[in-house]
Structure 1
Amino acid sequence: MSVTRSTLFALISVVFLILAAGCTGPEKVQPTSPSPSVEPVAVGVSSQITGACTPVTITQTDGTEITLPCHPERIIVTNSNAAEMMIAIGAGDKILGVTQSTTNVSYIMEKIPQAENIGDWQIPNVEKILALHPDVVIAYASSKPKNTDQLAAANITLVYLDCFRLPTLAHDARALGTLTGHKNEAEVYARLVEDTVADVTAKVKTIPENSYPAVYSESYTDYMAAGPGSGSDELLSLAGGKNIAEDVAASSMKISTEWVVARQPTYIFKVISSGNSKPFPEIHAALVNRTGWDTIPAVKNDRVYLFANDVQYGPRAYIGLVYTAQLLHPDDFRELHPRAMLDEYALRYVSGTNRTGMVYP
């Protein structure tokens, strides 16, 4: 009887264990919560992750402030000068789009082969911009895109930085440095610009104003004089030159041969576009042989010079200032070596920018 009870107890225990096992399901796997520091990126114009960065504020060239949610990582540049400056401060890898004119500049495109063509700088292609999903588009402050309304309607963020006028060059560099997270590199460049300008202007102040030579400065277009407020006029003023067009009503003005002859300039400077295909000697010969110009002191004394626009405007304008000061006041600026400065810029900032001469002859 005791055996029977033992056997029965064992059977009941086995049944209980089987039932208990059957009532216990597989362990549920809890879903993994997404990391609070990472949010899904919406597919749209911007690729920025709004929850993982700090807002950045800069002052644009026109003096207005703009605040972005993050340091932009995907940048389109409709301003070739800004593209060169970004490369100079080490932010070229953030450029994913440039304009048609920039694609023709070999020393820029060599550094940013990833950049796509988004069309004309004055009317950039909205569809191409949207397809690249930029965080920001950098454009000229002094010559804004003609389709700004379309760009704004497409929710494209625009930042206005000139990066070409000498008086605002250091400011724009610092703004770009803050924007892209390259503040230290931008500061080094900005101080180089400021120190160069300070050295030149300090020397110019020791020269009597009545010794400032008269200069006719002509832009890309023949007989288009650079008036007050133009980039060329600013260089002349800082370098100790007297612009014979300082009294015209605009920053540029169409004039005549007679107008130049009547004002008898001591020097003649002409700016040549980077898109020019004619050899400098050919352009220079045509300039000095204009009808009636053989009576102008600048022509008679071989003081007619061509300037590549790269040293009149843009990140290398501080070197253009040194070239200008040395031409106007050779005895006072013998110790400065603008060609060596150009070589240093190519070594430290943007290689290839010293491949061709900047001033002729």
Structure 2
Amino acid sequence: MNPRALLILALGISIFAGSVQAKMTVIDDVLGRKVELDLPAKRVILGFYAEDYMAIGTENALDNVVGISRDTWEGWRPSSWSLYTNYRPSLKSIPDVGEVEAQTFSIEKVISLKPSVVLLADWQYKGLGTDAERLENAGIPIVVVDYNAQTLERHIKSTQIIGELTGQEKRAQEIADNYKHTIESTLQRIKAAKLPKPRTYVEFGNKGPSQYSFTYGKNMWGAVITMMEGDNIAAPFVEWWGPMNPEQVLASRPEVVFLAGTESGVAGDAIAMGQGVDRKLAESRLAGYKARTGWNQMPAVKNNRVYGIYQGASRSILDASMVQFIAKSMYPSLFKDIDPEQEYLNFYKKYLPIMPTGTFTAQISE
């Protein structure tokens, strides 16, 4: 056989062998859906949880991201976006596919980017409705993860899924194990102490003191309060999230109040928390809520147990430290040895390429 024929035969055998060895992997996502795809994923569209994706998959995982729902990062956490884009300017060039809640998410744009997988939050997948079927009918797999539920089970499962997608299973398991240990050890202290459950209220303080914004029932901060043995006063009135009647808030006489905020709160009189936010400003915004009608008679206000918490540190594998903060605020005598804000920064130091500066937890002062 001549050399040319031998070369063609060798190439054919090599291609055939490669096709035999290539195997599709089946992932069970958080909804119990079985999704078949090639791993590690080479062309990924991120709907949400970009920081988690990077922490678990390493910064290199971003090299395979071909589209993002940009508003969930730049729009909701602008200072965080600036911090990351200053470090990695190429983030700005990743195509934007729109945002589900704003009804700008473009199925056509997603299809045009030819992704090997679309990673969506549970709320995004459900929000897309039949549009999700359009992607699947186009042969594009969708994997669903969920940190918004704020349950240990879904946090662990979501972290393991991202580990599979990025080929970082070992790193993902380490992060998941550390998260699990933090949650369980924190809860163990509380249960062992057998103290009365403090009546607790949480509100996203994005509208300032003059208008009540939404609180949480079964998910996000509401779920954390319940998990850490607090008595969430919103639970009987709000299933997931939504505003609570101000009179009912007062009648419930909360002993602990959490007001969540982001960097966007710097403008106006909203709660300001997060990257680049000065601590004095954060504390002054908390103090502004004392002026709400009837709040001067609230046990939480009388006893200076009104706390600020960074909204951007929720619904994330990074939120173990915020769980600690909520636990410490509700049961201060049990966690004198824990510095939640430092724990939050320690996660960045170990798993992420940037280090934020600002105010991520705060307490009202005299």
Cα distance in 1 for residues equivalent to 2:262 and 2:19: 42
**Shift in Å, 1:166:** 4.2
Identity within the alignment, %: 20
**Shift in Å, 1:38:** 3.9
Cα distance in 2 for residues equivalent to 1:353 and 1:239: 28
Aligned to 2:275: none
Cα distance in 1 for residues equivalent to 2:20 and 2:112: 23
Letter in 2 for 1:170: I
Larger radius of gyration: 1
**Residue 199 of structure 2, aligned match among 214, 218, 233:** 214
**Shift in Å, 1:51:** 5.8
SS of 1:128's equivalent? helix
Q: 1:131 to 1:50 in 2, by over 3 A?
A: farther
Q: 1:334 to 1:304 in 2, by over 3 A?
A: same
Cα distance in 2 for residues equivalent to 1:349 and 1:28: 52
**Residue 236 of structure 1, aligned match among 217, 225, 231:** 225
SS of 2:317's equivalent? coil
CA contact (8 A) 1:231 1:312 kept: yes
**Residue 63 of structure 2, aligned match among 80, 89, 93:** 93
CA contact (8 A) 1:271 1:307 kept: yes
Aligned to 2:279: none
Mapped pair 1:326 → 2:353: no
Aligned to 1:106: 82
SS of 1:360's equivalent? strand
Aligned to 2:140: 156
Cα distance in 2 for residues equivalent to 1:274 and 1:151: 34
Cα distance in 2 for residues equivalent to 1:277 and 1:152: 41
**Residue 174 of structure 2, aligned match among 184, 188, 196:** 188
Q: What TM-score results when the alignment is normalised by the length of structure 1? A: 0.80
Letter in 2 for 1:129: V
- Once superposed, which parts of structure 1, at least 4 consecutive aligned residues long, lie more than 6 Å away? none
SS of 2:239's equivalent? coil
**Correspondence list, 1:192-341, <5 A:** 192-209=178-195, 211-219=196-204, 222-248=211-237, 250-273=239-262, 275-278=264-267, 279=272, 280-281=282-283, 283-341=285-343
Cα distance in 1 for residues equivalent to 2:3 and 2:298: 95
**Residue 36 of structure 2, aligned match among 67, 71, 80:** 67
Letter in 2 for 1:169: H
Q: Which has the higher contact order (CA 8 A, sep 6+)?
A: 2
CA contact (8 A) 1:100 1:118 kept: yes
Q: Which moved more, 1:268-277 or 1:327-336?
A: 268-277
Q: 1:65 to 1:29 in 2, by over 3 A?
A: closer
Cα distance in 1 for residues equivalent to 2:19 and 2:340: 45
**Shift in Å, 1:319:** 0.9
Cα distance in 2 for residues equivalent to 1:57 and 1:50: 18
Structure 1 or 2: larger helix share? 2
**Shift in Å, 1:135:** 0.5
Cα distance in 2 for residues equivalent to 1:276 and 1:351: 26
CA contact (8 A) 1:61 1:172 kept: yes
Letter in 1 for 2:143: V
Q: 1:141 to 1:118 in 2, by over 3 A?
A: same
Aligned to 2:276: none
Q: What TM-score results when the alignment is normalised by the length of structure 2? A: 0.79
CA contact (8 A) 1:166 1:313 kept: no
**Shift in Å, 1:297:** 1.1
Q: Work out the number of aligned pairs and report it.
A: 323
Cα distance in 2 for residues equivalent to 1:274 and 1:130: 33
**Residue 109 of structure 2, aligned match among 115, 128, 152:** 128
**Shift in Å, 1:352:** 3.4
**Shift in Å, 1:187:** 0.8
Cα distance in 2 for residues equivalent to 1:51 and 1:220: 56
Q: 1:119 to 1:249 in 2, by over 3 A?
A: closer
Q: What's the C-alpha RMSD, in Å, of the aligned pairs?
A: 2.6
Mapped pair 1:140 → 2:121: yes
Cα distance in 2 for residues equivalent to 1:190 and 1:271: 25
**Shift in Å, 1:255:** 2.1
Aligned to 2:161: 175
**Residue 342 of structure 1, aligned match among 341, 344, 366:** 344
Q: 1:298 to 1:182 in 2, by over 3 A?
A: same
Letter in 1 for 2:180: E
CA contact (8 A) 2:225 2:326 kept: yes
**Shift in Å, 1:106:** 3.1
Letter in 1 for 2:307: Y
**Shift in Å, 1:70:** 3.7
The Cα offsets for residues 228-283 of structure 1, whole Å up to 9 and x where unpaired, read as 31111221123231111221251224223211111111111122245444343454
SS of 1:316's equivalent? helix
